[in-house]
Each structure stands twice: as structure tokens, then as C-alpha cells.
Amino acid sequence: MVLVAGYRRSLSFPNHPNYSVKPGKTLHVRSTSLPCRTHPIISQLKDEINEVKSWCSKSDNPTSIWLCNGLNRLKIVHESLDDLLQLPQTQESVSDQLIEKLLEDFLRFVDVYGIFQMLVLTLKEEFMAAQVAVRRRDESKMSIHLKNLNKMAKDMSKLVSTVQSIGKYSIPDNEAEITDIIRDVIQVTVSVSMELFRRISTSFSLQKPSCMGLSFGKKAKKVKMDEAIEEFEQLNLEKLWSLKKKGDEEAKMVSKKLHQLEDCIVQIEGCGETTFRSLKNTRVSFLNLLTQ
């Protein structure tokens, strides 16, 4: 029984030959090399992978827009990989043993991004509640929200270590050339995911009293701030610990900045959701390869 993803896109390539599988085929034998010349989608996928690698190399002064660009590029890579997995050439070139490993990899990716989406949803709720606390000058509630942000930063950092361990196995040399591309997709997915989770985790781990005092150390603080998302770095939440001493205009400014950060979180949430769906689609395509 062939599973079909809920978000399937149609394939459309110029001068695409008819690769329909003949009915009645009872034995599926996979070869160790592509049976015909390289398909154009392979060159396209390689270019897209290189674009993601280029994005990873330009990580200075990261912003929420930069993170969204990385997620969008990663989504495009997985959409192209999904297209490639539909071709009979690919179906004949990847061993069942490797597919089983890839299914495990993508199950972990899907789990991690599912947790990420839940954390981002909680972040939005915390920012909305923090804005209310600012307007009411409620320092005790603000303190609670900052502690919650710190806890979510720790949860986010756990995703970094989880995703870092994905794809840590060797692929036999006799596997098809197509496996090199799949391996590159795994690597760039790990790289983008680590940047995403690490940047957000660092941004919110800074928003606690222990990170705002002299005990943090100037050098260590500078390293941490360089890893934080720029928009969050610019908001000095230390001011929120003395809300009652601030004027109305300053309180309004803080509330406005919190609202802007909430908008950034919403953008990241949307990009993360589309990446999440593309990862699920790719996993279903690998499962289809195994069951055909």
C-alpha cells in the first residue's frame, strides 16, 4: 500500500519522458548506479544545497529575516528532493537498508520540528502576556514571564543536541551517486536546524537576571550576544525589572518592542511550519520507496 503525503505537489519537467512503471511487476530490484544520464532535477538540487551552505556561512548579525530565509531555502531543498524521490531512477538506486536509516533520520527531524512548533506557540503566548504585564506595571508577573522564557531557552537548547546527532552513520562506497545528494540534504538540514534552535535558545537565555549582572563576564556576554538574534539582542529586558520607576512613554516603548518581537516569532513560526510539512512529505516519499 503506497502512502500519499497530504501536501503533494505535481512534477513538471521540460521534455520529461514517460517513466511509468509497467503493471504486474512483482520483484523490485535496486541497482547501484543511475541507469541513465543525470536528470536535470539533480543539478537543480545540488545548486539549492549550495545556496543553503552559502546561507550558513553568512551567520554574522543574525536576524529573524535571516532565519526565515534559511528555513525557506531548506524547504525548497526538500521539495526538490521529494521530486527526485518520485523518479524510477531514484527508486532503483537506493537500497532498502539505506532507506530504513533515512526513515529514522526524518522521523527524528519531524519530531524535533514538532516540538519546536509547540515551543514557538508558547513563546507567542508569553510575549502577549508580557505586554499585559508591562502595561499594568506588574513586576511580579514580568518576573514569571522572564523565568518562563529562560526555561524555554533550555528546552530549545536540547533540540540542538538532538538534531546534531542525526545522520551519524557511514554509507557504503558501492551505493549509488544519488546517495551523496541525500547525504548532503541531511547535512544542510542539520546545519540550518542547529542555527535556528541555537540562535533562539541563546536569545532567550540572555533574558534573565543572572545574565544581566556583572557576574556574567564581559567576554562571555559578548560571545553570547553575538549568537543571539539581533532583534532580541536590541531589547534590554533588564529595564522590565523596575517597571514602576519608568515613565509612561518608556513603558509604552517597551510594550511596543515586545509586540515587534512577537511579530518576529510569528514569522519564524510560519517558516518553521512550512519546513515541518516538507520534512513530513519527504519522509512519506522514503516510506513509499520502501513499500513499492
More confident residue, 40 or 177: 40
d(CA 41, CA 241): 55
68: in domain: yes
CA distance linking residue 230 with residue 136, whole number of Å: 27
Predicted TM-score (pTM) of this structure: 0.78
**Does 35 map to a domain?**
no
Q: Which residue has the cell 532503483?
A: 92
264 assigned to some structural domain: yes
Cβ-based neighbour number of residue 242 at 10 Å: 9
Domain limits at 255? Answer: 63-291
For residue 1, give the H/E element and its range.
none
Q: Is the pLDDT of residue 202 over 90?
A: no
With respect to residue 44, please indicate whether it lies within any of the assigned structural domains: no
pLDDT at residue 7, as a whole number: 45
| 137 domain-assigned | yes
Among the listed ranges 41-55, 113-127, 175-189, which one has the minimum average pLDDT value? Answer: 175-189
Provide the 8-state DSSP code for 136: T
Within a domain: residue 43?
no
The answer as to whether 26 is a domain residue is no
Whether residue 147 is contained in a domain is answered as yes
Instruction: For 150-160, write each residue's pLDDT tens digit.
Output: 888 889 999 99
Angle at 116 between CA 284 and CA 106, to 5 degrees: 25
Question: Is the pLDDT reported for residue 289 higher than 70?
Answer: yes
Q: Rounded to an integer, what is the distance from CA 244 to the centroid of its chain? A: 39
Give the distance, in angstroms, between the CA of residue 60 and the centroid of all CA atoms in the same chain. Answer: 18
Give the integer Cα–Cα distance in Å for 125 and 43.
Answer: 43
How many domains does the structure of the chain reveal?
A: 1
210: phi then psi, degrees, rounded to nearest 5: -65, -20
**DSSP secondary structure letter of residue 208:** S
Round to whole Å and give the CA distance between 182 and 80. Answer: 11
Task: Provide the percentage of residues in the chain whose pLDDT is more than 90.
Answer: 36
C-alpha distances out from residue 35 to 38, 131, 156, 274, Å: 9, 60, 44, 33
Residue 32 has pLDDT above 50, yes or no: no
Looking at residue 148, its pLDDT comes to 84
**Which residue in this structure is represented by grid cell 520607576?**
245
